[in-house]
Chains A and B, each alone.
Chain A
Amino acid sequence: MMAAANQNRKWVLPVLGVLAVALFALDVMLGSVKIPFNEVFRIVFSGESENRAWLLIVEKIRLPKATTAILAGCGLSVSGLQMQTLFRNPLAGPSELGITAGAGLGVASVMLVGGSSASVYAISQLGISGSWLIVAMASLGSALVLALILLIAGRIRDNVILLIVGVMIGTITLSVISIWQYFSQPEQLQEYIMWTFGSLGGVTGYHLYVLAGVVSAGMLLAYISSKSLNALLLGENYARSMGLSIGRTRLVIMASTSLLTGSITAFCGPIGFIGIAIPHITRSLLGTANHRILIPATALTGTVLMLACDIIAQMPGTQTVIPINVVTSLLGAPVVIWIIIQRNNLRSSFS
């Protein structure tokens, strides 16, 4: 709808695209087990290899993990972008407003209470119905917190205060989970705690299809609301005066963000800072606020950075793997600090 972003920024998207492909390849090639590059190529493109272990590693571990990284990177950053526009707040994001905590509550309710389906040693052992259940509960949990924050946002116009409220709601949610944990069996607890570290590796087979399906649906909803998001940039009153029905728009955006955050958090655990940092990086790369460009571009940037984080998390050349959440936080938190320093008028400024 809006004229294309700055003409001189046209190189950004192709570069990001090339980077995404390169990092995906790198992510598949690197790992704790050394597999020759040409062998990886053969496995990926023809699906056969003399070494059955290598075949297994690439097909069952590395490819799903890299795919999950793409899905999580896209989903979380696009959901963060939508939240920042919806709340008109540069510091909004899935983890900052307690939405991830809400998803965590949903996951905890399945893991700690659900009985047999929740005797999870890993999410990978969940049955087919279990995986849907956990996605549904996590999305529901996110939607619940999001609705609550939206309700409060209607009364509070101050960005920083809203953020504090978000953190508080996140804390309340986590406290509820803690009470739950306190009365739970140790083995159930261990599962939940492992989940909170965040991991891209646990999503294989059928779960990957579920995750891919839900994330695609969420992304589609996000793209559909790009026109509404653009109108919302001028504020709710202007958006309404231009024929936008705020209620429906909010509902679509909420559905999209809840699905994206909920499903990714359910399968990968809480992954911080991607949602808040990537939209800002993308905006400053492209110099535009037009969501019709921003949504695909943010997804691409998210992909690139999530793959990079995953490569770093594997600590190439060593046998150790550090939790993905640690890497994203280490990279993302400085970006947030940079945003805060960049704008001295954070209370009202946006995008």
Chain B
Amino acid sequence: MSSISAILETRALKIGYRSKKNIRNVADNLNLRLMPGQLVCLLGSNGAGKSTLMRTLSGLQPMLGGEVYIDGELLSNLKPTELARKLSVVLTDRIEAGNLTAREVITLGRTPYTGWLGALTDIDHEKISEGIRSGGVEDLLDRHIHQLSDGERQKVMLARALVQDTPLILLDEPTAHLDLPNRVEMMRLLHVLARQTGKAILLSTHELDLALQTADEVWLMSAGGALITGVPEDLVLNGSFEAVFAKSNLFFDRTTGSFHIHTPGENHKFYLEGDEKSVFWTKRALQREGWGISRYRDAACVIASRDNDKGAVWEISLHGKTTQVTSMQALILNLRLLFSDNSGGERLS
């Protein structure tokens, strides 16, 4: 793709904070590009500078060097109203004006387009109902902001950004403070929006799982200020994820793309077989106990799981003996018994 089509582009961007005496450099030499219709997730550990980058890109914070182009124009050359027609944001700032209804907040999104008194034209009304529809907030309109839950409020703020009708939307941690169903709903909505409306959406998040599932591209920011970009699967396979979130006691499973609290056990004594679902959960349970899973069927202990009409059944085969259990709890208890009083050589993990 040529550089003309990028909706957001940075060249040698340097971000950080400048106070009277010193300059604190957060990240340097950032060359980023964001295309229309793309959903990009900015990931990084706490303090890596995600918010600084988001604030700099949205023009809320001065950059230390380099250039930011929005829709082909230099960010610094854009007047506030021009910028507001190209870029809208959803911030983590709390909305304190509780007396406003959701409809009023969403309507405020038209601010860059209305005249000096803020009177709405037919086009404005059309854009507002469009934003309300694609943001999925029809049911919230007449409620006051302080009556909304965090998830509902976040959706209202997103609808407001949609009403602002910009080709680029920046969201700073839109899933923070949301419970899991709401987080999934939010990410799904953003994914659909990027695809359907052709808007470029950049969001910072801590949700690795969801980001890996929904993002067209991931920007990985490490604490040193380096930023790696790429398709999420590439970054998983080439080990970038592990490098950025490298921490002791944390294990990144490249097969599933998720982090584990438990490092894999060293002694691979178990082999699991059976249907995919029960194998997955059995593996989780064994990993929690610190027991290693073998890839080969010649392991000391084979656990076969079966899902029949009455529920799940596990068959433990050890040294030719077979035991059947019907719950994960019983399975773990059995395994503990089997291995704890064994001779020293048979100790686990």
Contacts and interface: CB of A to CB of B under 8 A. Distances in A.
10 contacts: A234-B108, A237-B60, A241-B59, A243-B80, A243-B85, A243-B112, A244-B80, A283-B99, A289-B104, A351-B96
Nearest to A85: B97
B20 interface: no
Interface string B100-119: 10011101111110101111
Contacts of B114: 1, 227
B89 interface: yes
Interface string A8-39: 00000000000000000000000000000000
B84 A242 contact: yes
A235 B85 CA distance: 19
Interface of B: 58-60, 80-85, 87-89, 91, 93-100, 103-105, 107-112, 114, 116-120, 164
A240 interface: yes
Interface of A, secondary structure class, is loop
B83 A243 contact: yes
Contacts of B94: 235, 348
Question: Which 6 pairs between the two chains have the least Cβ-Cβ distance?
Answer: A1-B118, A243-B84, A243-B81, A227-B118, A243-B112, A233-B97
> Which one of A242, A283, A292 has the greatest number of beta carbons of chain B within 10 Å?
A242
B93 A238 contact: yes
> Which one of A240, A288, A348 has the greatest number of beta carbons of chain B within 10 Å?
A240
A78 to B, nearest CB: 16
Interface of A: 1-3, 88, 224, 226-227, 230-231, 233-235, 237-238, 240-245, 283, 287-290, 292, 348-351
Given A243-B112, A348-B94, A233 B85 contact: no
Nearest to A227: B118
Contacts of B93: 234-235, 237-238
A289 B97 contact: yes
Interface of B, secondary structure class, is loop
A349 B99 CA distance: 10
Contacts, number: 102
Nearest to B104: A2
Given A226-B118, A230-B108, A292-B118, 19 more contacts: A2-B108, A2-B118, A3-B103, A227-B116, A231-B108, A234-B97, A235-B91, A235-B95, A237-B89, A240-B80, A241-B59, A241-B60, A242-B88, A243-B80, A243-B81, A243-B83, A288-B104, A349-B98, A351-B97
Contacts of B83: 243
A292 B104 CA distance: 12
B256 to A, nearest CB: 38
A241 B89 contact: yes
A242 B164 contact: yes
A252 B47 CA distance: 38
Contact of A224 (B58, B88, B116, B119): B116
Contact of A288 (B95, B99, B111, B164): B99
B88 A349 contact: no
B107 A88 contact: no
A141 B114 CA distance: 35
A242 B112 contact: yes
A1 B119 contact: yes
B107 A287 contact: no
B249 to A, nearest CB: 36
B99 A292 contact: no
Contacts of B118: 1-2, 226-227, 230, 292
A280 to B, nearest CB: 11
Contact of A241 (B87, B97, B99, B119): B87
B96 A349 contact: yes
A350 B91 CA distance: 18
B100 A243 contact: no
B111 A243 contact: yes
B131 to A, nearest CB: 14
Given A1-B119, A234-B97, A240 B109 contact: no
Contacts of B105: 234
A248 B109 CA distance: 20
Nearest to B161: A241
A290 B104 contact: yes
A259 B302 CA distance: 85
Contacts of B82: 243
A241 B119 CA distance: 19
B99 A289 contact: yes
Contacts of A242: 84, 88, 108-109, 111-112, 164
A245 B108 contact: no
Given A235-B96, A238-B89, A348-B96, A3 B104 contact: yes
Contacts of A288: 99, 104
Contacts of A226: 117-118
A276 to B, nearest CB: 17
A318 to B, nearest CB: 41
Contacts of A290: 104
Contacts of B100: 233, 289
Contacts of A233: 97, 100, 108
A289 to B, nearest CB: 4
B88 to A, nearest CB: 6
Contacts of B164: 242
Nearest to A235: B93
Contacts of A289: 97, 99-100, 104
A283 B99 CA distance: 8
Contacts of B99: 283, 287-289, 351
Contacts of A245: 80
